Amino acid sequence: MTRHYVVVGGSRGLGRAFAEAAVRSGHVVSTIGRSLTDALEGGQFPCDLTRADQTADVLDVIRRDQGEIDAIAFFQRFRGPGDDWEGEWQTSLTATKTLIEHSVPHFAANGLKSIVAVSSVNAEFISPKLPPGYHLAKAGIVQLAKYYACKLGPQGIRVNAVCPSTFVKPENEAFYESHPEIVTRLAKLSPLNRMATYRDVVDVIFFLLSERSAFVTGQSLTVDGGISLQWHEHMES
């Protein structure tokens, strides 16, 4: 069955990989991002998520051009110059809240009515090289998923979050291929003895957006290959 997926932050990275997989499966895809790319199929809707005026309107335009929406996946994170605390807050949290609240009348009555927001293991665990705003934004995404799961559940809308660890994405595949020592070191952290790839995360998002997870809402699913299961002191040897 053909579905209409809105992919927020679909111009690059994991979001783009998700959008391309959805197009390959024959679905209608509408991507939101600041940049447009010739190489990306599906409808592209330029929007700067730090701009409240643009964010408020973009789903109306998508509905007009591409029809009612089945599901929305949020991949965006703050990238660019400027204050990252303010930037993360607006890009990750305010934009997600605005788009979720505007989405309600645009869902197809018999569609998936499902939302997934990409958070991170940094919702719970600290990576000192990443800024505090990133950690707060990712924790906030998890809480937004719970909040809107309760608020929108009576309208049949499900909201979940996904918390990945570091994954290889198309843009950095060449880097990891040329640094096998990094891949080996990171792989050893997981009981599965490998690094995550974007495909691992994309598959989980498709599952959470699909009717196969119809009774799952307000959850955050960690996709870390079990890295977080092991007590650090036991990983010395």
Q: Binding ligand NAP by CB under 6 A: which of 33, 42, 140, 225?
A: 33
Q: Which residue has tokens 């643009």? A: 54
Q: Does 91 bind ligand NAP (CB under 6 A)?
A: yes
Q: Least separation, in Å, of the C-beta of 24 and ligand NAP?
A: 18
Per CB under 6 A, the segment of 4-12, 61-69, 146-154, 176-184 that binds ligand NAP is 4-12
Residue 210 C-beta-side C-alpha neighbours within 13 Å: 11
Chain-centre distance for alpha carbon 192 = 23
Residue 148 falls in the annotated catalytic set: no
Strand partners, 115: 72, 159
Q: Least separation, in Å, of the C-beta of 155 and ligand NAP?
A: 26
Chain-centre distance for alpha carbon 193 = 24
Q: Binding ligand NAP by CB under 6 A: which of 40, 58, 118, 144?
A: 118
Angle 237-173-170 from CA coordinates, rounded to 5°: 130
Nearer to ligand NAP, 98 or 111 (CB): 98
Nearer to ligand NAP, 50 or 114 (CB): 50
Residue 173: count of CB within 10 angstroms of its CB: 12
Q: Does 120 bind ligand NAP (CB under 6 A)?
A: yes
The closest alpha carbon to 158, from 166, 148, 168, belongs to 148
Q: How many residues bind ligand NAP (CB under 6 A)?
A: 26
Q: Least separation, in Å, of the C-beta of 123 and ligand NAP?
A: 9
The C-alpha atoms of residue 48 and residue 66 are separated, in whole angstroms, by 20
**Catalytic site residue from 5, 134, 148, 198:** 134
Query: Helix (H, G, I), strand (E, B), or coil: what is residue 75?
Result: coil
Per CB under 6 A, the segment of 31-39, 96-104, 106-114, 212-220 that binds ligand NAP is 31-39
Q: Binding ligand NAP by CB under 6 A: which of 50, 96, 103, 114?
A: 50
Joined tokens for residue 67: 């029809």
The C-alpha atoms of residue 128 and residue 225 are separated, in whole angstroms, by 21
Joined tokens for residue 135: 């950690």
Q: Least separation, in Å, of the C-beta of 186 and ligand NAP?
A: 11
Nearer to ligand NAP, 178 or 237 (CB): 178
Q: Does 217 bind ligand NAP (CB under 6 A)?
A: no
Report, as residue numbers or ranges, the catalytic residues.
Answer: 134
